[in-house]
Amino acid sequence: MRSPLPNHLLTPPKRLNTPDLSLDPSTTSSENVSSSLSSESSLAPPSSSSSPPSPALAPPTPIHLLPYPSPVTPSILPPPTSRKTSFSGRVPAGIARRRLRIVVTGGAGFVGSHLVDKLISRGDEVIVIDNFFTGRKENLVHLFGNPGFELIRHDVVEPILLEVDQIYHLACPASPVHYKYNPTNVMGTLNMLGLAKRVGARFLLTSTSEVYGDPLEHPQKETYWGNVNPIGERSCYDEGKRTAETLAMDYHRGAGVEVRIARIFNTYGPRMCLDDGRVVGNFVAQAIRKQPLTVYGDGKQTRSFQYVSDLVDGLVALMEGEHVGPFNLGNPGEFTMLELAEVVKETIDSSATIEFRPNTADDPHKRKPDISKAKELLNWEPKISLRDGLPLMVNDFRNRILNEDEGKGLK
């Protein structure tokens, strides 16, 4: 049997150096957002299992969304064992559903903000943790003032203490333009697993199809171990997510943390970043701007594309289910880059041209999920096709590009 991790990795420190998490003063007045987080000055060594629980700490103060006071200020943390109930982040059969307190890291991002919308709509209390590296407050502004919503500006590479039932860990830049500059995959995952262990929360890791690298198996099943270049230009993301999966499974086996692992394939929809290198967003933005669609290589590489609401449904089904995973969450419909470009032209501008450029290093030739496991165990499969989903994001992109151009004096 694999030995558990050492105590100093499994038990997060009880006193934290919490950074100043206040929002940019220049933006708070327009958003009716005020913030402050109290900090603790020293790190205490982990306590042994035989010692009595240490005194609880005053947790960080969340951002209060005016004009309502915060309805669910984090309370004093009890000893780790006292929060473990029969619920364990889920609802047992035959028991009426209770309101859950849920953390979404990266909740101001593209996928995270849509997940927050779903959780709020079903009546849960949601705390978003985001450092706004790629997240946007505009993605959440419609929730400001909602008494079930809280926003904390915080980087999860630093520990944080909160009392919650579930943790959706989405915090990580998901495009080549950004992810190489951010260490969230490892340190952020370690800190969130430590929080889940302490408070008895269920933890969901959003991993990626990039763990398969340039796959030799097609389509990819969850049992495939991948073909990843560990020192390539993309490896910081690929290997970072593989490491995050390893950490999650070690906390599950060694500390009894309830974990769920999702391997997410290419996702598109409203609120995507306009210029972060992901192909659907690139093509849509270029077509709207009357620019050539940039195709790298010969355009015969294949990908599958799922609409964001399908992914959110899959994440919730995984969190509420009884299976650790990993699970592939993606749309098995497969398109070459040239086929995708043609669909974008049909949807936005049939006169758009295509410009070919040299391919990037370690770019996978094929990517397509086998989702039979998710169908069987989660009763999940995507509902929205690429041709149906693309028009749903075009208006969002048009409005944002128009506002961007007006800001630059181009309109």
Q: What is the length of the chain?
A: 411
Q: Quick check: 164 and 59 in contact, CB under 8 A?
A: no
Does residue 347 form part of some domain? no
Q: Rounded distance, CA 108 to CA 22, Å? A: 15
Does residue 321 form part of some domain? yes
Q: Quick check: 244 and 174 in contact, CB under 8 A?
A: no
* DSSP H helix total and E strand total for the chain: 11, 15
Contacts of 55 (CB under 8 A, 6+ apart): none
Q: Quick check: 160 and 60 in contact, CB under 8 A?
A: yes
Does residue 128 form part of some domain? yes
Does residue 325 form part of some domain? yes
Taking phi over 0 as left and psi of -120 to 50 as alpha, with beta for the rest, 214 belongs to beta
Other CB atoms within 10 A of residue 181 CB = 9
Could you give the 3-state DSSP secondary structure of residue 258? coil
* Residue 310, token pair as written in the block: 């399908």
Q: Rounded distance, CA 388 to CA 378, Å? A: 24
Q: Quick check: 209 and 367 in contact, CB under 8 A?
A: yes
Q: Rounded distance, CA 346 to CA 342, Å? A: 6
CA dihedral defined by 192, 198, 203, 207, rounded to 10 degrees? 30
- Domain count within the chain: 1
Which tens digit of pLDDT belongs to each residue from 333-386? 999 999 999 999 999 999 999 999 998 877 788 999 999 999 999 999 999 999
Does residue 289 form part of some domain? no
**Residue 74: is the preceding peptide bond cis (ω within 30°)?**
no
Q: Which residues are catalytic?
A: 237
Distances (CA, A) of 227 to 71, 232, 316, 372: 48, 12, 29, 21
Render each residue's pLDDT in the chain as its tens digit; 411 residues. Answer: 444 444 444 444 333 333 343 334 333 333 333 333 333 333 333 444 444 444 444 455 444 333 333 333 333 333 333 333 333 445 555 556 789 999 999 999 999 999 999 999 999 999 999 999 889 999 999 999 999 999 999 999 999 999 999 999 998 766 555 555 555 578 899 999 999 999 999 999 999 998 998 889 999 999 999 888 888 877 778 888 899 999 999 999 999 999 999 999 999 999 998 887 889 999 999 999 999 999 999 999 999 999 999 999 999 999 999 999 999 999 999 999 999 999 999 999 999 999 999 988 777 889 999 999 999 999 999 999 999 999 999 999 999 998 876 556 555
Q: Is the dihedral of CA 268, 145, 37, 82 positive or negative?
A: negative
Does residue 401 form part of some domain? no
Does residue 354 form part of some domain? no
pLDDT of residue 363: 79
Strand ranges inside 164-283, DSSP E: 166-169, 202-208, 259-264, 267-268
Which tens digit of pLDDT belongs to each residue from 8-53? 444 443 333 333 433 343 333 333 333 333 333 333 334 444 444 4
**If you search the block for the tokens 């030799």, which residue do you land on?**
216
**If you search the block for the tokens 């929060």, which residue do you land on?**
83
Q: Is the dihedral of CA 117, 173, 239, 340 positive or negative?
A: positive
**If you search the block for the tokens 């500006």, which residue do you land on?**
153
Identify the CA nearest to 15 among candidates 167, 191, 190, 159. 159
Structural domain containing residue 223: 17-42+56-268+306-333+368-385
Q: Rounded distance, CA 147 to CA 69, Å? A: 8
* Residue 28, token pair as written in the block: 């708070």
CATH number of the domain that residue 82 is part of: 3.40.50.720
Other CB atoms within 10 A of residue 326 CB = 20
Taking phi over 0 as left and psi of -120 to 50 as alpha, with beta for the rest, 37 belongs to beta
First to last CA, the chain: 65
> Per the confidence metrics, is the pTM higher than 0.85?
no
Does residue 392 form part of some domain? no
At 375, give phi and psi (nearest 5°).
-60, -45
Q: Rounded distance, CA 283 to CA 380, Å? A: 28
Q: What angle do CA 279, 371, 259 make, to 5 degrees?
A: 95
Query: Do the strands 267-268 and 166-169 form a parallel or antiparallel pair, or are they unpaired?
Result: unpaired
